Structure 1
Amino acid sequence: MSRTLFIADLHLCEEEPAITAGFLRFLQREALNADALYILGDLFEAWIGDDDPDPLHGEVAAALLALKQHGVRCYFIHGNRDFLLGYRFAHASGMTLLPEEQLLELYGKRILILHGDTLCTDDEGYQRFRHKVHQRWLQKLFLALPLFIRQRIAEKMRANSKNANASKSVAIMDVNPHAVTDAFQRHRAQWMIHGHTHRPAVHPLQINGQPAERVVLGAWHQQGSMIEVTADAVTLSAFPF
């Protein structure tokens, strides 16, 4: 049976080896029988450049490349944690980089995929920060810095983000309904798949009087989360590492 898989928000890092092990098993088992795998951002907890020699990056790249060599195409949309992931790593892993919003024609379904942070427009502070760090000149300047300085900056930014989020309401960090509707209408989509909020759920909607569904992936904290799309259904499921 033809099937395509979607995952997001693994936040891979050396400090969480169980999640990495679960992801590698997922690639070797579940993903091996798919037509394609779409990773919708935050594959890594942080990304400070493709030149980072972290052994975890090489291990993940090798596993993704092995998946491609078995005939499973792999696509990647940047998240808010790994938006600097570049073409060097993409080439090493066999992944195809996609824009921040991508419309898929999949088994007769029009599916809009994205990381999801752009939908959280009520969080104005985060949106200002996002606009700033996505400026190409600033990214080039950051990537030109020595690796150890980039590491220090990234650590400080993560600490600042954690502190800022601690004082925000749950609602402000969720998607804005108007932003969701606008994205559906711009792409004339019937389905939307995203991550970022770490709130796995299926949300039935009405867009221009027509039924639509927004499906949200869960984060890989205590278990894995994936969405499977076939000709018959769009299914959200969780599974143990």
Structure 2
Amino acid sequence: MSRTLFIADLHLCQEEPAITAGFLHFLAREAVHCDALYILGDLFEAWIGDDDPNPLHQQVADALRALPVPVFFIHGNRDFLLGKAYGRASNMTLLPEEQVLACYGHRVLILHGDTLCTDDVGYQRFRAKVHQRWLQRLFLALPLALRQRIAARMRDGSKQANQHKSQTIMDVNAEAVEATMLRHQVSLMIHGHTHRPAIHRFALQGQPAERAVLGAWHQRGSMIQLDASGVSLIEFDF
């Protein structure tokens, strides 16, 4: 069966070996049999530069490179610094933050999803700052140990800030979703980021539309399958 698979929000790190093992099993069991694999951000819990010698990064790159199908990657809010060198090492094609695909008769917009959370004004301000190219170049020029300390401090700050935010604020804004879909002239969107797996069906200018949301990989894996019949959200054990 012809199908394309989408995953996001694995947050791979050395502290969670079960998730890494689940991902490697997924590649060998599911991804090997698809037409293409799209990773929609936050593959890693953090990314401080392609020069980070973390052995997990090499393990994942080797597994992705061994796949006999094309792999595509959209940056998330955790791994937005993942660069061309790692893309080459893992044989992943790096995509822009919004990409329209034509698959099996469907026209689908894929993205990480954080840009849709416009009610979280504080996060959007932070995102605008850290996506400035000059600031990214400055950060990547710092010694590795200093980058590690800065990244750890930023993750702690993010966790503390999110504890005081309502779940509604951290979800997507419906108007932002509709405006983005209309801008790209699509009726199907796939994204991650919110960790709220679901397929939402709604009307877009009087026409049926769908927004498929990937789940995060915590106790179980999550993928979206797109084929000629449409989208399906699938959860599975590691």
The TM-score by the shorter chain falls in which range?
Answer: over 0.9
Gaps of 5+ in 2: none
Structure 1 length-normalised TM: 0.98
Amino acid at match of 1:205: F
Taking the aligned partners of 1:73 and 1:235, their CA distance within structure 2 comes to 21
Find the partner of 1:197 among 194, 197, 208: 194
Q: After superposition, where does 1:167-206 map in structure 2 within 5 Å?
A: 167-206=164-203
Over the aligned positions, Cα root-mean-square deviation in angstroms equals: 0.4
Amino acid at match of 2:93: T
Q: Deviations over 1:41-64 (max 9, x none)?
A: 000000000000000000000000
Counterpart in 2 of 1:113?
110
Cα deviation 1:146-190 (Å, max 9, x = unaligned):
000000000000000000000000000000001000011000111
3-state SS, counterpart of residue 171 of structure 1: coil
AA paired with 1:31? A
| Counterpart-to-counterpart distance in 2, 1:190 and 1:29 | 30
Q: What is the rounded CA distance, in whole Å, between the counterparts of 1:29 and 1:170 in structure 2? A: 34
Structure 1: which 4+ aligned runs deviate by more than 3 Å? none
For residues 79-114 of structure 1, give each alpha carbon's deviation from its aligned partner in whole angstroms, at most 9, with x where no partner exists. 000000000000000000000000011111010000
Matches within 5 A, 1:116-131: 116-131=113-128
Q: Which residue of 2 aligns with 1:6?
A: 6
Match of 1:144 in 2: 141
Matched, 1:230 2:215: no
Q: Which residue of 1 aligns with 2:63?
A: 63
Q: Residue 223 of structure 1 aligns to which amino acid in structure 2?
A: R
* CA distance in 1 between partners of 2:92 and 2:62 (Å): 11
Tell me what 1:54 maps to: 54
Q: Is the counterpart of residue 94 in structure 1 residue 104 in structure 2?
A: no
Task: Find the aligned partners of 2:180 and 2:202 in 1 and give their Cα distance.
Answer: 13
Please report how far the alpha carbon of residue 205 of structure 1 lies from its aligned counterpart in structure 2 after TM superposition: 1.3
For the residue of structure 1 that corresponds to 2:209, the secondary structure is strand
- Aligned residue pairs total 238
Q: Which amino acid aligns with 1:117?
A: D
Partners of 1:14 and 1:118 lie apart in 2 by 28
Give the structure 1 partner of residue 21 of structure 2.
21
**CA shift at 1:208, angstroms?**
1.1
Q: What do the CA deviations read for 1:129-159 (whole angstroms, capped 9, x no partner)?
A: 0000000000000000000000000000000
- Paired residue type of 1:23: F
Q: Identity over aligned residues, as a percent?
A: 71
SS of the equivalent of 2:27 reads: helix
Question: What letter is aligned with 1:45?
Answer: E
Structure 1 runs not aligned, ≥5 long: none
One-letter amino acid of the structure 2 residue matched with residue 64 of structure 1: L
TM-score of the pair, normalised by structure 2? 0.99
**Aligned residue in 1 for 2:210:** 213
